[in-house]
């Protein structure tokens, strides 16, 4: 057993309801777990000691929504969008072509590179999805590679009907052979319930089949307009419904009355020139709100959780505390995880040290890289 004492913490965000936010604090972790949290003056001894000299410390980001199993690039689509073209779900097919053509080694290297990029910015738990394979073989391959490098993996065979395929036959494949083959490699299943992707009946079929197979549910819903995604997610007890850009009052009430997390993806809304989601209404109604990057090559090519937080505070009127909670503790809730997203004794030692005296600087100094040090499960990453 090796213990490490981090001392000189100017502001410590624990996300622990009993401990809250501490100043002049210290933290001890042993073998990958937080062991002690409290005032610096009463800290116990440890094998080694790191003085962070007044900096802010918080749990590592929990990025609960990414699509990192891909190859290729969609710069041209982005440029067309910036020139005024609207975003449509069909762009996914470009990445499907490039992903199918890539080798296992290329896909794994691309995934590792993006995960490393996220970790260097303070992300210590990351979810990623299949969904650029869309054949039984390619979806299994994506799931298998993802399971080697991400904390949580989601089956998203229902990302898009492959060009040329019959929609109903494709849904039958997704809920039949594809689900059977992919399920052993994943914990979650998801569906893109949207105009141009899967309608309500098709989405329900996918989610019910996955649930019967023992997978947890997540839904892409209400991204491009109001629709049935949120309603369906809440009805089926999904852990999370993601995007939530266009919500009716009934959607907001349903989320507030449920344990389904509303996961907002503001970097995606900016990159696709949609409105930003109604975070304030969701929070005021009592819904649980998470923030995630939605990193993918089409609609949101960023691994920066700090950018999402800056946007949430400056443009969506979330407080800095709400935004930090959304990107840590509530991201963990969206993934059904109780061991990450907080720094209570017993939690995984996922520790993010900012080169700033408080988390307020995440919004106060937009665009400035503020990650000073990162430990994941007690192992120093940078």
The phi and psi torsions of 346 (rounded to 5 degrees) equal: 100, -20
Report residue 62 as tokens: 């929990």
How many whole angstroms separate alpha carbon 5 and alpha carbon 45? 7
* Helix, strand and coil in the chain, % to nearest 5: 35, 25, 40
Q: In angstroms, give the least distance from the CB of 302 to Zn ion.
A: 13
10 vs 131 by CB, closer to Zn ion:
131
CB 39 within 8 Å of CB 21: no
Q: In angstroms, give the least distance from the CB of 300 to Zn ion.
A: 8
Q: In angstroms, give the least distance from the CB of 24 to Zn ion.
A: 41
Q: In angstroms, give the least distance from the CB of 292 to Zn ion.
A: 9
Q: Is 305 helix (H, G, I), strand (E, B) or coil?
A: helix
DSSP 175: I
4 vs 294 by CB, closer to Zn ion:
294
How many whole angstroms separate alpha carbon 241 and alpha carbon 278? 14
Query: Which residues are 69's β-sheet partners?
Result: none
11 vs 152 by CB, closer to Zn ion:
152
Q: Is 213 helix (H, G, I), strand (E, B) or coil?
A: coil
37 vs 264 by CB, closer to Zn ion:
264
Neighbour count for residue 253 (Cβ, 10 Å): 15
128 vs 371 by CB, closer to Zn ion:
128
Report residue 294 as tokens: 């939605």
Determine the residue with CB nearest Zn ion. 294
Site mask for Zn ion (CB under 5 A), range 233-252, x = bound: --------------------
Site mask for Zn ion (CB under 5 A), range 138-177, x = bound: ----------------------------------------
Q: In angstroms, give the least distance from the CB of 171 to Zn ion.
A: 19
128 vs 294 by CB, closer to Zn ion:
294
Site mask for Zn ion (CB under 5 A), range 282-321, x = bound: ------------x---------------------------
Q: In angstroms, give the least distance from the CB of 270 to Zn ion.
A: 15
Q: Is 164 helix (H, G, I), strand (E, B) or coil?
A: coil
241 vs 370 by CB, closer to Zn ion:
241
The b/e string for 90-101 (b: 16+ C-beta within 10 A; e otherwise) is: ebbbbbbebbbe
CB 161 within 8 Å of CB 187: no
Of residues 68 through 107, those in contact with Zn ion by CB under 5 A are none
Signed CA dihedral, 342, 346, 352, 356: sign only: positive
67 vs 352 by CB, closer to Zn ion:
67
CB 179 within 8 Å of CB 157: yes
Residue whose structure tokens are 């100017």? 10
Q: In angstroms, give the least distance from the CB of 355 to Zn ion.
A: 30
CB-facing half-sphere around the CA of 59: CA atoms within 13 A: 33
Tell me the site size for Zn ion, rule CB under 5 A. 1
Q: In angstroms, give the least distance from the CB of 89 to Zn ion.
A: 11
Q: Note the residues at the interface with Zn ion (CB under 5 A).
A: 294
């Amino acid at each position: 057993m090796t213990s490490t004492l981090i001392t000189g913490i100017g502001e410590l965000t624990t996300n622990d309801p009993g401990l809250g936010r501490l100043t002049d604090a210290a933290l001890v972790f042993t073998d990958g777990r937080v062991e002690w949290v409290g005032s610096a003056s009463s800290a116990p001894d440890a094998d080694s000691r790191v003085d962070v000299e007044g900096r802010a410390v918080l749990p590592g980001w929990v990025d609960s929504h990414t699509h990192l199993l891909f190859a290729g690039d969609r710069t041209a689509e982005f440029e067309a969008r910036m020139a005024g073209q609207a975003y449509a779900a069909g762009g996914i097919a470009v990445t499907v072509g490039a992903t199918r053509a890539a080798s296992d080694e290329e896909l794994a290297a691309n995934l590792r590179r993006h995960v490393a990029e996220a970790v260097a910015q303070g992300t210590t738990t990351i979810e990623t999805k299949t969904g650029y394979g869309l054949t039984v073989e390619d979806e299994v391959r994506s799931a298998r590679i993802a399971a080697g490098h991400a904390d949580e993996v989601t089956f998203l065979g229902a990302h898009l009907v492959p060009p040329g395929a019959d929609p109903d036959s494709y849904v039958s494949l997704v809920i039949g052979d594809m689900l059977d083959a992919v399920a052993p490699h994943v914990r979650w299943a998801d569906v893109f319930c949207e105009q141009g992707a899967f309608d309500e009946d098709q989405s329900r079929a996918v989610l019910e089949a996955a649930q019967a197979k023992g997978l947890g549910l997540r839904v892409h819903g209400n991204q491009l307009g109001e629709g049935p995604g949120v309603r369906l997610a809440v009805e089926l007890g999904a852990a999370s419904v993601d995007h939530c850009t266009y919500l009716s009052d009934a959607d907001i009430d349903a989320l507030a009355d449920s344990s389904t997390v509303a996961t907002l993806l503001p970097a995606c809304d900016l990159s696709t020139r949609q409105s930003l989601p109604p975070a304030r209404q969701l929070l005021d109604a009592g819904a649980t709100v998470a923030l995630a990057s939605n990193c993918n090559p089409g609609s949101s090519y960023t691994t920066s959780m700090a950018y999402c937080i800056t946007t949430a505070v400056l443009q969506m009127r979330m407080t800095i505390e709400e935004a930090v909670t959304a990107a840590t503790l509530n991201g963990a809730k969206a993934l059904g995880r109780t061991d990450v997203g907080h720094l209570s004794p017993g939690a995984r030692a996922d520790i993010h040290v900012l080169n700033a005296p408080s988390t307020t600087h995440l919004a106060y100094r937009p665009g400035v890289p503020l990650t000073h040090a990162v430990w994941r499960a007690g192992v120093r990453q940078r």
